[in-house]
Amino acid sequence: MPDFKIIRDSTPPSDILRGAVVAMGNFDGVHLGHRAVIEAAIDMGKAKGRPALALTFEPHPRRFFSPNTPQFRLTDETAKLRLLAGTGLAGAVVMAFDKGRAQTSAQDFIHHDLIGRLGIAGIAVGYDFHFGKGRVGSPSLLANEAPKLGIEVDIQAHVDIDERPVSSTAIREALAEGQVSEATAMLGGPWFVSSEVIHGEKRGRDLGYPTANMRLDRDCGLRHGIYAVRVGRGRGANRVLIDGVANFGRRPTFDNGAPLLETFLFDFHGSLYGEVLDVAFIGFIREEAKFGSIEALIRQMDADSAKARALLAARAGLFPRLGEIG
């Protein structure tokens, strides 16, 4: 069983790790800015002899406040927790973001949730994180309340790459442009998706390129195109990494249908139907294109595969650091 403990609103008080240090945030993507907050919480926990937990919210508050607006999430709840479990944290507190929580004042959240229910010994937050009704809660409010509450507060500044602040928004924008290397730099590892392999039209098999087909979230904002990918099959010590090349898009040569991720795994033979795979995006090769003949398409697929193999060889072993969450 994994050691990473998940605490939810339904968790009985007897099962809560009271007295922990928490890193609080939405943590979409668990990027380098988030990791600075997490590392601060882990360091504070070590100094106090206390476990360190992430405290996060599901669904993302943006989803609650704007349910009809497309939301490109970098990580769904499961992916986020797996990334958090790979950071060295002892667990995560997942609070439901619903009408009740949206109406909770910042002071009530601090006194009821943080102190009363969790009994926190300290908290680390990013410089721009806000909470509570009307987003009144802020790092400065926590710092002002800390002496009265007997807790320590650590406020982390933004993390910059090439003088540009790292943020989930910047990563989404990079992925929307196919700028995989930029996204990887800000995330501290490649962006990945997880999904079940489904049956497709099996055209790839006829072309000599059988693919594992996966539906991604309908709001996925990744640029349509061809990518060098590294696929994780299995979990924990049983995970196997397999290199490949993938097309994400609408297949304009054939049906121009709903977006689909189609991955050809190099040097792999076997059935993957029904399995959940992790697909990490290592490099962008080209835009999706329509070809005038099947022969031209196959020639391009051969060239794409060669480019993908070269990109992956140059980034051997690159894969997200994922923990086990049960």
Q: Quick one: pLDDT at residue 245?
A: 98
Q: Quick one: pLDDT at residue 204?
A: 65
pLDDT digits (tens, 9 = 90+) for 99-151: 999 999 999 999 999 999 999 999 999 999 999 999 999 999 999 999 999 99
Cis check for the bond before 59: say yes or no (omega within 30 of 0).
Answer: yes
- Please spell the DSSP secondary structure of 167-231, one letter per residue: -HHHHHHHHHTT-HHHHHHHHTS--EEEEE-B----HHHHTT---EEEPPPTT--PPSEEEEEEE
Backbone torsion region of residue 48, taken as left when φ is above 0, otherwise alpha when ψ lies between -120 and 50, otherwise beta:
alpha
Interatomic CA distance for residues 36 and 244, integer angstroms: 32
Which tokens in the block code for residue 119?
């009994």
Q: Whose CA is closest to 3, among 91, 84, 79, 78?
A: 91
Task: Specify the higher pLDDT residue, 258 or 110.
Answer: 110
| Alpha-carbon dihedral angle through residues 304, 245, 297, 206, given to the nearest 10 degrees | 140
Which tokens in the block code for residue 111?
């006194």
In the predicted structure, residue 1 carries a pLDDT above the cut 60: no
Classify 54 as helix, strand or coil.
strand
The whole-model pTM stands at: 0.95
Residue 251 banded pLDDT, cuts 50, 70, 90: confident
Count of residues making up the chain: 326
Mean pLDDT estimate for the chain: 94
Residue 254 banded pLDDT, cuts 50, 70, 90: confident
- Please spell the DSSP secondary structure of 244-266, one letter per residue: EEEEEE--TTTT--S-EEEEEET
pLDDT digits (tens, 9 = 90+) for 229-250: 999 999 888 899 999 999 999 8
Find the mean pLDDT for residues 200-214.
79
pLDDT digits (tens, 9 = 90+) for 48-107: 999 999 999 999 998 889 998 999 999 999 999 999 999 999 999 999 999 999 999 999
Interatomic CA distance for residues 163 and 184, integer angstroms: 16
Q: Quick one: pLDDT at residue 257?
A: 75
Interatomic CA distance for residues 194 and 79, integer angstroms: 8
Q: Which helix (H) or strand (E) holds 5?
A: strand 5-8
158: Cβ contacts below 8 Å, ≥ 6 apart: 33, 126, 127, 128, 165, 166, 167
Q: Quick one: pLDDT at residue 3?
A: 87
In the predicted structure, residue 287 carries a pLDDT above the cut 80: yes
Q: Quick one: pLDDT at residue 206?
A: 65
In the predicted structure, residue 217 carries a pLDDT above the cut 60: yes
Interatomic CA distance for residues 201 and 42, integer angstroms: 48
Interatomic CA distance for residues 152 and 172, integer angstroms: 33
